[in-house]
Amino acid sequence: LDVLSRMAHPPDLVLSDVVMPTMGGRELGTRINASAPELPVLYMSGFTGDDVVQRGLLEPGVPFQQKPFHPDALALQVRTMLDRKVSARA
């Protein structure tokens, strides 16, 4: 959050793990959304998508990539999200 607040130009997307030591990914996403609602967040975890929802770590339907993943799978997910962002602006 500190890095984002100091950036002259925000990134096009944030990639965050769901489980982190100080702040969980869900809280990070909520705080990013409060200051930059147009900034998409892609979450990743070693837990399955169903598991992160059942544990209350993420809301159903948020962009999610399960680890381990192939770089091509991550690239496709990022590309899809960036394309949606561009379409939403048009």
The pLDDT tens digits for 15-51 are: 999 999 999 999 999 999 999 999 999 999 999 999 9
User: Does residue 88 have a pLDDT over 90?
Assistant: no
More confident residue, 86 or 32: 32
pLDDT of residue 85: 80
pLDDT of residue 13: 96
Which residue pairs from 29-35 have beta carbons closer than 8 angstroms and sit at least 24 positions apart in sequence? 29/62, 31/1, 32/1, 32/4, 35/4, 35/5
CA separation for the pair 11, 40 (Å, rounded) = 9
Place of tokens 């409060």: 34
